[in-house]
Amino acid sequence: MIVITYGSDIVKNTYDTLAASDIREYLKAGFSVSVKPNLVVARPASEGATTHPEVVEGIILFLRDFGVRKINIIEGSWVGDSTKRAFKSCGYEELSRKHGIPLVDLKSDSCTTLKYGKYEMEICDEALKTDFLINVPVLKAHCQTGMTCCMKNLKGCISDNEKRNFHTLGIHRPVAALNALLKPGYNVVDGICGDLSFEEGGNPVKANRIIAGRNGLLLDSFCAELIGYKPDEIEYLSYGKEIGLGEYYSKDTKVVELNSEYKSVCEVKSMRAAEKYRSIIVEDAACSACYSSLIFALYRSRGKYRSHDKIHIGQGFKEKNCAGFGIGNCAKGFDKYVAGCPPKATDIMAAIRSLEV
């Protein structure tokens, strides 16, 4: 079952979406509940990268009316950014004070190592010990995976070392394995104004919708189609289906629409910005923050990179001395490189300009 609600009253629409869903079949009033938004960077939700605090507020109000009393908000921002800064910049400190909800920085949490198949991973204990995890991703584009939504949002529940390791292993299969080990009780997707160019935000596309359901794979396949992808184009979805995490959205899926009179008549499709630059990038186990900075820099430079050299990026270039141009501290062995972990997009843009001369 999928419930989707349209309109600009975010708190009310989130509450109404849950009220119309089947969450009551799985939730109990005595449960402890952890709410996991996407606060990957310290940028306000209006820029299209992070979960609106109003969505989480609607969830809190629904939980309290349902009888749940033990609620916290958990998150671990991406490598190179601060969760505490994100809590403040994204409006979650104010939300915490208003409703008396603790904020838990998973970067400071202990971890338990679990194994699925050949994958061992450090998962934060706060995410594992809760009775009921509510996953609250943003529906947006992603430079490496095409899109990010429910399944990939759980990456915030692993240690920073494990986040780096995911990219060493190839991001798609580890994401699927993580979802086999850490299963949310429910998913509430923030589809208000996700950035359909980059996961870091800056190009929000207003759609004004909240989407909810139990199964992350089902929701992600539905959301992929909403922004112009076939589910199998998102590799971690095909792997998730392969290992039995669920089924893709189909014409037989029950979909409930609320406030359909506010449904956008315009197409809201991914720009597939990263795909334009793949021919000039040599990527080897690059972390998302570093790769996103590069794609954003290329986008802002309007494709002016004219060097015959490829651009090299990723952990696979550590300790290697190479000719050419590299991005990030892992590529410091190249003739020319842009320092940082992750490097700033402005620094990459400056380096691109210098190579044009």
Residue pLDDT, tens place only, 50-100: 999 999 999 999 999 999 999 999 999 978 789 999 999 999 999 999 999
Least confident of 7-16, 110-119, 136-145, 241-250: 136-145
Cα 30 from Cα 17, distance rounded (Å)? 22
Architecture label for domain 2-262: 3-Layer(aba) Sandwich (3.40)
Would you list the domain boundaries of the chain?
A: 2-262, 273-356
Long-range contacts of 323-328 (CB under 8 A, 24+ apart): 325/351, 325/355, 327/290, 327/293, 327/294, 328/286, 328/290
pLDDT higher than threshold 80 for residue 233 = yes
Nearest to 245 by CA among 178, 161, 329: 178
Q: Would you call 45 helix, strand, or coil by DSSP?
A: helix
pTM listed for this prediction: 0.83
Phi/psi region, residue 319 (left: phi>0; alpha: psi -120 to 50; beta: rest), is left
Question: Of 173 and 336, which is predicted with more confidence?
Answer: 173
Predicted local distance difference test score (pLDDT) of residue 357 = 46
- Do residues 85 and 53 lie in contact, with contact meaning Cβ atoms separated by under 8 Å? no
Helix H or strand E segment including 260: none
- Do residues 238 and 232 lie in contact, with contact meaning Cβ atoms separated by under 8 Å? yes
Confidence of residue 213 (pLDDT cuts 50, 70, 90): very high
Largest CA distance in the chain: 65
Confidence of residue 354 (pLDDT cuts 50, 70, 90): confident
Structure tokens at 194: 């996700």
pLDDT in tens, 254-302: 999 999 998 875 556 665 666 677 777 888 877 766 776 777 677 666 6
Nearest to 290 by CA among 121, 138, 144, 84: 144
Cα 178 from Cα 24, distance rounded (Å)? 25
Residue partners of 266: CB distance under 8 A and separation at least 6: none
Predicted local distance difference test score (pLDDT) of residue 300 = 63
The residue type found at 324 is G
Cα 31 from Cα 124, distance rounded (Å)? 19
Question: Of 305 and 150, which is predicted with more confidence?
Answer: 150
CA angle 237, 239, 123 (to 5 degrees): 90
Cα 303 from Cα 344, distance rounded (Å)? 18
Please provide the average confidence, as pLDDT, over all residues in the chain: 90
Residue partners of 312: CB distance under 8 A and separation at least 6: 281, 282, 284, 322, 324, 325, 326, 327, 331, 334
Q: Across residues 331-337, what is the average pLDDT?
A: 88
pLDDT in tens, 150-165: 999 999 999 999 998 8
